[in-house]
Amino acid sequence: MNELLLIHDTEAVRVVTMNRPDKRNALNTALTRSLLDALRAADADDAVRCVVLTGAGPGFCAGADLAEFKDLVPEFQHRVDERAELTMQLHLAFPKMAKPVVTAINGAAMGGGAGLAIAGDLAVMAADAKLGYPETRHGIVAALVMANLVRQTGRKRAFELVSLGEPLTSRQALAFGLVNRVVPDAELMSEAMALAEKLTAINALALKATKQLFHEVADLPLEEALKRGRETNKRMRAFRKP
């Protein structure tokens, strides 16, 4: 797509690598927009069955690029509004995609980077990587990443993370249920690709419906969730193996 992202396909798996290693892949507006566009493009590409998201260099993603904060002030409210909307759309893209996303957390994932790390459907974390929400230490709030965090771990744990701002080790992240696997650093991409390849072997219609229903029922009352499941149950009778 551009120098901010490295994109390549391995059969039906698209690997998207954030490419600002000198900035620990911090999310400036350009990278945020490019990543959103890349996810949408992958979802629209019939040749792609799964996406793996990772970072170049020693870090996964350091979160928002603080260098842009000088322009995100009340005097430039339109810029504040535009950036907040862009960030929200990026995090919404993951559950809205029909295709699964595996995050390969190769290094520190902080703030908005932690939000990206757990936004995928599956997450593999390098043993030496860390994950945290240090926003309060900078006098700000882990605002747009908080909703997904609360949904993925218990309230007490989530509040500890967003209030104290202390990072988790990979083993702690695994215990908190924020990642699926912790592997030696050298095995990170091979493990992430192995998961992605397993996903590509699954019936595409069944996987799409599974992901859609999963996100629909996660926060619904039981009766409404069962009704959604009933409708999917009826639709899946029309599925055909590829």
Catalytic residue annotation = 135
CA distance 7 to 53: 10
Q: Which residues contact 102 (CB under 8 A, 6 or more apart)?
A: 50, 51, 52, 53, 120, 121, 122, 123, 124, 192, 195, 196, 199
C-alpha closest to that of 150 among 160, 140, 139: 160
| DSSP string covering 163-216 | HH-PPEEHHHHHHTTS-SEEE-GGGHHHHHHHHHHHHHTS-HHHHHHHHHHHHH
